[in-house]
Amino acid sequence: MSDDFYLPYLLNYSSPVAEDVVIFVISALIAVLVSAESQAFAATLFGDSRPGARDRLHFNAFLHLSVLGSVSFLVAGFGWAKVIDIDETKFKKHPRLFLILSRLAGPAANILMANIAASLSWIVGNFGFIDKVFGTIAVVNVTMAIYGLLPVPPLPGAALLFAFFPDNDLFRRIRDGFCKVGPYLIIAVFAFVRWSGWDGISSVFNPLVLKVTGFLLNF
C-alpha cells in the first residue's frame, strides 16, 4: 500500500469511487461501534452497571452514530461516537480514575480492532488477494484511536482534561460549555487544516498514525 493510504484515510471528493466510499463508511461504522461499546463495557465492569441498558450495550452502530461525529469523519478522517452516558458516582473507588479508564477504553479497543483487521489483511494477502477492506478498517480505527486522545470533548481524551477540573459549579459550567462548543471546534479546525494545506496538529498526529498502522499492516 502507498503512504497516501495512511495520512489519515480521507475520501477524494474530486473523483469519488463508489467502492472506496462504501469501504470507508463500513470502516467508520465499525470504529464507532467498537469505541462506544468498549466504553460502555468498561463502565459496567467498573461498577456503573445498568440492567437492560439498551442505550449502551446493543451492538448497533447506527444507534451510536453522532451527527457531528459523522461529519468529522468526512472532513478530518476521524470522528466519534455518540457520548456514552457514564455515571461516575456509581464507581465505589477512584471515580475519576475509573471514568478516565472507561473513556480511554474506546481508543484502546480501536487499536485492538485495527490489530485484528491488520491480521486479516495479512492472511488475505498471503492467499494472493489484494486487500483494501481490512487495510482501511485498520487505518480508520488507528486514526480514530490516536486523534481520540485529543483533550477536546466529545473525544475520549477530554476525560483526561476534565479529571483536573475542581468539582464546583464554576468548573461544571465551563465543562458543559466546552462540551457544547467542542464538536464544532474540531470540525472547524480540521476543515481549515484540510482546505488550507496547513498541517497544524496533523503534523504531529499523522506520522504517529503512519507508524502505528504501518507496523500493524507490515508486522
212: left (phi over 0), alpha (psi -120 to 50) or beta: alpha
Average pLDDT across the chain, whole number: 88
* Cell 439498551 belongs to residue: 54
> What DSSP character marks residue 174?
H
Higher pLDDT, 198 or 144: 144
Give the total number of structural domains in the chain.
1
Packing angle of the helix pair 133-147, 202-218 (nearest 10 deg):
140
Cell of 176: 458543559
Confidence (pTM): 0.90
138 vs 9: CA distance, rounded Å: 10
Local structure of 81: helix, strand or coil: strand
55 vs 166: CA distance, rounded Å: 29
pLDDT digits 0-9 by tens, 108-145: 999 999 999 999 999 998 888 888 899 999 999 999 99
**Residue pair 97/136 in contact by the 8 Å Cβ criterion:** no
User: Residue 21: CA atoms inside 13 Å, Cβ hemisphere, count?
Assistant: 7
- Least confidently predicted of 41-45, 145-149, 201-205: 201-205
What is the domain extent for residue 109?
3-218
**Residue pair 66/154 in contact by the 8 Å Cβ criterion:** yes
**Residue pair 17/64 in contact by the 8 Å Cβ criterion:** no
Residues 6+ apart with CB under 8 A from 152: 158, 161, 178, 182, 185, 186
141 vs 199: CA distance, rounded Å: 21
pLDDT digits 0-9 by tens, 2-16: 444 444 567 777 777
> What value does the mean pLDDT take over residues 49-76?
86
